Structure 1
Amino acid sequence: MEFTEYHTRLGAYVLLVDEQERALLAWWNGEGIAEPAWTLPGGGIEFEESVRDGLVREVYEETGYHVEPGALLAEHHFTARGRTFDGWYRSQRFVFEASITGGELGTTEVDGSTDHAAWVPLAELEGEPRVEIVDVALAARRQRMAER
């Protein structure tokens, strides 16, 4: 399919894991189309934003933290039929490392797709509902740690 025949959605996410091996995650409410689940803080990039600027905005909205994006950790994409338009779209997602530079835990967006954020122990995440991007990010983290 040619690029002019589908829509593209850019998304940027952050994987933050603290010294206690807890990941900062956002509780996605499913938006009425799926079951709620844990996801990485982040989301769709607005038309006028850079990927990193969108990441900073999204992480603040969903977690209350200000972050400084670091290295690209993973890329992932999927294709699906549009919910709000007729036709196909490609979701291109980027996962970054980052550091927290300020703020405090608490979701700031109103009527959005995130109900709350929390530091979730990695050891307890296995049985929790989560979206695919969480597993993509954690696999990339494991690989990066093995290479060091």
Structure 2
Amino acid sequence: MHFSEYDTRLAGYAVIVNDDDEILLSWFNGGRDRAHAIWTLPGGGIEFFETIEEGTIREIKEETGYDAQLLRPLTTHSFTDSRRNPAFGESTDRPFKGVRVVYEARITGGTLGTLEVDGTTDRAEWLAIDSLADTHHARIIDVGLDALRGSRR
């Protein structure tokens, strides 16, 4: 399929792990479909005039309250859906492709607490990485952690 025949959403996400082996996550409230609420990495859609780095840093701040520095790109991840934009539950007549760039990042300032108003993030928390097996979470967290672990070998 030619790129002009489907919609694309570019997003940037961050894996931020502290010294206590906890990962910073944001609670995606499901947008228009609250049944799809789930823990995810801080990040989201990149605005048209932003670089991926600028947009990722902005999203981290909005969703977690923290200022962050991107250390390095870890991986990219993409997925397709034939009938809707899964990020917001929007139905469309065009196929959809999500393209996500995942960075390793660190906190440089700020205070924990989402700054979004009427957005798709309700809160942010540090969760023990070991607890993720028993926690309802988005696949992008596993993708990011796998890439982080692989880069440290």
TM-score bin, normalised by smaller chain: over 0.9
Partner residue, 1:17? 17
Partner residue, 2:103? 96
2:122 paired with 1:115: yes
Which stretches of structure 1, 4 residues or more, deviate above 6 A after TM superposition? none
**Aligned residues: CA RMSD:** 1.1
Per-residue Cα deviation, 1:53-80 (whole angstroms, up to 9, x for no partner): 0001100000000111121011100011
Moved more, 61-70 or 84-93: 84-93
Per-residue Cα deviation, 1:34-61 (whole angstroms, up to 9, x for no partner): 4211100000001111100000110000
Partner residue, 1:77? 78
Letter in 2 for 1:122: I
* TM-score, length basis structure 1: 0.94
Partner residue, 1:47? 48
Partner residue, 2:2? 2
1:32 deviates by 3.4
Report if aligned partners of 2:104, 2:148 keep a CA contact under 8 Å in 1: no
Which whole-Å CA distance do the structure 2 matches of 1:104 and 1:13 have between them? 19
Which whole-Å CA distance do the structure 1 matches of 2:70 and 2:27 have between them? 21
Letter in 2 for 1:39: T
Partner residue, 1:68? 69
Which whole-Å CA distance do the structure 1 matches of 2:106 and 2:56 have between them? 12
Per-residue Cα deviation, 1:71-123 (whole angstroms, up to 9, x for no partner): 10111000112325321111000100112111110000101111100000011
Structure 2's unaligned 5+ residue stretches are 85-89
Which whole-Å CA distance do the structure 2 matches of 1:5 and 1:12 have between them? 23
Which whole-Å CA distance do the structure 1 matches of 2:71 and 2:54 have between them? 12
Identity of aligned residues (%): 45
Instruction: Figure out how many residues of one structure are paired with residues of the other and give that number.
Output: 146
Which whole-Å CA distance do the structure 1 matches of 2:71 and 2:145 have between them? 16
Structure 1's unaligned 5+ residue stretches are none
| Secondary structure of the structure 1 residue equivalent to 2:115 | coil
Letter in 1 for 2:40: T
